[in-house]
Amino acid sequence: MNSQKTYTINSQGEKGGEVSLSLSGRIETENLNTFLSETEVLLMEKAPKKLMVNLSKIEYLDSAGALGLLQLEDRAKAKSIPFQFVNVTDEAKRVMGLINRGALTIKPLVSDKRADNIMEQVGESSLRIFNDFVSIITFLGDLITALIYSLIHPRSIRWEDLLFYMKRAGVEGLPIIGLINFLLGLIIAFMSSLQLKQFGANIYVAQLVGVAMVTELGPIMTAIIVAGRSGSAFAAEIGTMKVNEEVDALVSMGFDPTRFLAIPKVLAAMLVVPVLTLYADFFGVAGGLVVGVLGLDLTVYTYVQETMKVISIMDIVKSLIKSVVFAVLIAGIGCQRGFQVRGGAEAVGASTTSAVVAAIFLIIVMDSAFAILFTYI
Amino acid sequence: MERSDQTPIITVESLTARFGSNTIFQNVSFEVYKGEIFVILGGSGCGKSTLMKHMIGLYETESGKVVINGIDVTKADEKELKKVRLDIGVAFQSGGLFGSMTLAENVALPLQEYTDLSPEEIDLIVKMKLGMVQLAGYENHLPAELSGGMKKRAGLARAMAMDPTVLFFDEPSAGLDPITSAELDSLIKSINAGMGTTMVIVTHELQSILNIADRIIMLDKTAKGIIAEGNPKWLKDQATDPRVRNFFNRRVPEQEEKGT
């Protein structure tokens, strides 16, 4: 909106003497800036001994307009110029009366300045990370306690919710997990075959794909997809419940929110992620098989035989152990981030993002730990 | 700045609202006069808030029209709707404040969008508006750090940012203690008296209605429309409709039937 001048200022009186400003027209939000700058210039030019402002001809004055008049008075007074409003209409008086002048100068109760010193910023960030760590550990403690309680008292588990989340996280994730792992197997087989072809070692493509998929990529890719699909959904669901004071209501009714909300999700993830991992392994190998049969002139039988040669039962067990741990991480972090929500819609969004990022980070960290652990055990 | 007179600023004509096959209200007609405090009253679920949302063009209308400052919002194009919306302010039930922004940023938003005032001037106006709703000093607070009453007042400050000619207020007293509620009522009255802003308030708080309303309409769930219109004190003392009497006397209908 462009400011249009809808008022006039008629100035009478000599420079340095008594000056009278007669205002007419509309002084409102849209022309506040022109009004303020024009009156400022007048104050500078006239440098009056006394300033009187006649408001009798003002047609309309909104609160911003009234603020402009009061600003003019303040500026005059700051220059030690005696100031007076004359012929103030009832309307103008009422609008000006609404303005609490003390509020204009009161200091904010909370400073909007963030620490600008780099050391303070580092300190603040470190504190935040430490508090986050403490909150994760605390939640982990709650979760383990609740899990043990649920295993001892299976009737306390909300079975309907558990099945619902198994369907959500598991069954509904089958198509995307199958597709991604199939393509992944296909890519690995294709890229490795380009190199292995040069040495006539096509046959090893099957072993390479099998080992890569079962020991590393199957569990990791499945965990990452579940983190994106379900970890974020858990965080958003619990976060929204926090915002709507539903979690507070649960607590006030004597429920343990971790047992009530987190346990079904964590248990569901622990049950479906290993199954999804096996399924992902199968599709990964199938992807490699397609390249082997169509591109490398291997038979299906040979390809399967070569794959079976390198994969032991222990590899599959290890892969399943990993996937159970990943499942606890994904669901646990999702729920913890949800419970952390304070505020509104924006906080729910932040918790969702944070749930996915933290889960993926922890998956990779745990996978590194498993790599070392399994090598030496 | 004109005080209440008989010039209609909002005209609602034969307005009908439906959600699917469920009729919320039908053939609702009334006028809101310039400068008055107009209250839309009724029990829970009678469509008060729905009516308000139709009046400000948030919902599509089944039939009928709503004319604000000469523009029919039910048929207005985006440009006209924007014009109407610049001339009205809406304070939502929960404040409707943006959680990621401070109070100052919330109030400054329309000023930044629709005026070319400098940041310093906007800052000054924001301080003034927050001062008007007794939230001076809270500019850097986030909505999550405020109580329910403060959120409502902050929502009011944002609604008033552009000095609208009509202010809509959805359930100003809902969830507030009587003292905070009375404070909000007197704030509404002082803004109406000071600025001459027309107020359209949706509420079912009896005390609030008797304190502030110049005129009311009462909606009823079963009648699916207006069952009473007029001055609240007159309606309280003189209304013949048992539904209106029950409402003003806080009586449950069955009790009266049993008594008679």
What residues of chain B lie within 8 A of the CB of A4, using their CB? none
Q: How far is CA A212 from CA A179, A184, A288, A315, in A?
A: 17, 10, 11, 11
pLDDT of residue B1: 42
Chain-chain contact of A108 with B124 (C-beta, under 8 angstroms): no
Closest CA to A262 of A160, A161, A155, A125: A161
Which element (helix H / strand E) includes A22? Answer: strand A18-27
Residue B182 CB coordination number (10 Å): 16
Q: What is the DSSP letter of A113?
A: P
Residue A76 CB coordination number (10 Å): 20
Q: With contact defined as beta carbons under 8 Å apart, do A12 and A43 qualify? A: no
Tell me if chain B has a CB within 8 Å of the CB of A100: yes
- Considering only CB atoms, A29 lies closest to which of B100, B118, B162, namely B162
pLDDT of residue A265: 95
The 10s digit of each residue's pLDDT in A225-243 is: 999 999 999 999 999 888 8
Instruction: Return the beta strands (E) in A48-193 as ranges.
Output: 50-61, 83-86
pLDDT of residue A228: 95
Q: With contact defined as beta carbons under 8 Å apart, do A166 and A271 qualify? A: yes
Chain-chain contact of A344 with B143 (C-beta, under 8 angstroms): yes
The 10s digit of each residue's pLDDT in A100-143 is: 888 888 888 876 666 678 888 898 889 988 998 899 899 999 99
Residues in chain B: 260
Tell me if chain B has a CB within 8 Å of the CB of A104: yes
Distance (Å) from the C-alpha of residue B86 to the closest C-alpha of chain A?
A: 11
Distance (Å) from the C-alpha of residue B23 to the closest C-alpha of chain A?
A: 28
What residues of chain B lie within 8 A of the CB of A343, using their CB? 99, 142-144
pTM: 0.70
Closest CA to A292 of A186, A136, A174, A146: A186
Tokens 């599959």 found at: A316
pLDDT of residue A3: 53
Tell me if chain B has a CB within 8 Å of the CB of A128: no
Distance (Å) from the C-alpha of residue A236 to the closest C-alpha of chain B?
A: 16
Q: With contact defined as beta carbons under 8 Å apart, do B56 and B69 qualify? A: no
- Per-residue pLDDT of chain B (260 residues), as tens digits, is 444 568 899 999 999 988 877 888 999 999 999 999 999 988 888 888 889 988 988 788 888 999 998 999 888 887 888 888 888 988 888 777 887 789 999 899 888 878 889 999 999 999 999 998 889 999 999 988 888 888 988 999 999 998 999 999 988 888 778 888 888 898 899 989 988 999 999 988 888 888 899 999 999 888 888 988 988 888 888 888 888 888 887 776 654 444 33
Mutation target among A2, A26, A32, A340 for the B interface, most CBs of B within 10 A = A32
> B226: which strand partners?
B219
What residues of chain B lie within 8 A of the CB of A91, using their CB? 1, 196
Chain-chain contact of A107 with B137 (C-beta, under 8 angstroms): yes
Low-confidence ranges of chain A (pLDDT < 70): 1-4, 111-115, 252, 254
Q: Rounded to an integer, what distance in angstroms lies between the CA atom of residue A54 and that of residue A59?
A: 13
What residues of chain A lie within 8 A of the CB of B191, using their CB? 98
Interface of B to A at Cβ within 8 Å reads 1, 98-100, 102, 104, 111, 114-118, 121, 124-125, 127-132, 136-144, 160, 162-163, 190-191, 193-196
Closest CA to B184 of B260, B237, B120, B133: B133
Closest CA to B211 of B219, B203, B220: B203
Mutation target among B34, B111, B117 for the A interface, most CBs of A within 10 A = B117
Q: What is the ipTM of this complex?
A: 0.70
Q: Rounded to an integer, what distance in angstroms lies between the CA atom of residue A38 and that of residue A30?
A: 14
Mutation target among A40, A98, A240, A351 for the B interface, most CBs of B within 10 A = A98
CB-side exposure of A43: number of CA atoms within 13 Å?
Answer: 22
pLDDT of residue A4: 66
